[in-house]
Amino acid sequence: MRGVIGEVEEKLRAHEYKMTPKREHVLCVLLENKDKHLSAEEVYNLVKKKVPDVGLATVYRTLELFSNFDIIQSMDFGDGRKRYEFSTEDKDGHRHHHLICVKCGKIIEMNEDLLEDLEERVTDTYDFTITDHELKIFGKCRECALKMKKP
């Protein structure tokens, strides 16, 4: 975890920002929950357990700052709230995709790039250089689908 904190600190310093203790606490909460897609309110509640005097506005500003410098990425899974995760790109510069259960809200990460052929067609047909894409597929997870089948 120290290595990631150091990398983020360097990135902030390169843009003339400091890694304050409260920013570090927000970062630690994100690192401790990197398998989840936390909302700002969830991040705030987890940080508040460690630092009772942190304000919601501080958490929002920190998340926005981290997002601006591509430390984290924000996304909307259709529930009306931004959710955050660490920015992870593969060697081609693409991020993973998400399967979202419309019944229970479960989010499953998909690391396959299913859009390579489509990207080629778009590039060739429209002379458009694609730098990234995001795919969200909505449906029902296995557990919810099984519950629907039971009498």
Q: Domains for the chain: give ranges and CATH numbers.
A: 1-87 (1.10.10.10), 94-151 (3.30.1490.190)
Specify the pLDDT at position 41: 94
CB atoms inside a 10 Å sphere around CB 25: 21
At residue 135 the predicted structure's pLDDT band, cuts being 50, 70 and 90, is: confident
Q: Is the pLDDT reported for residue 93 higher than 60?
A: no
Q: Which residues are annotated as a binding site for Zn(2+)?
A: 101, 104, 141, 144
Q: Rounded to the nearest 10 degrees, how much is the dihedral formed by the CA atoms of 63, 40, 23, 55?
A: 120
Q: Which residues are annotated as a binding site for Fe cation?
A: 116, 133
Q: Is the pLDDT reported for residue 121 higher than 70?
A: yes
Q: Which residues are annotated as a binding site?
A: 101, 104, 116, 133, 141, 144
At residue 63 the predicted structure's pLDDT band, cuts being 50, 70 and 90, is: very high
At residue 95 the predicted structure's pLDDT band, cuts being 50, 70 and 90, is: low
At residue 25 the predicted structure's pLDDT band, cuts being 50, 70 and 90, is: very high
Question: Do 101 and 148 contact (CB within 8 A), yes or no?
Answer: no
Specify the pLDDT at position 115: 81
Strand partners for 101:
139
At residue 127 the predicted structure's pLDDT band, cuts being 50, 70 and 90, is: very high
At residue 21 the predicted structure's pLDDT band, cuts being 50, 70 and 90, is: very high
Specify the pLDDT at position 73: 84
3-state secondary structure of 4: helix
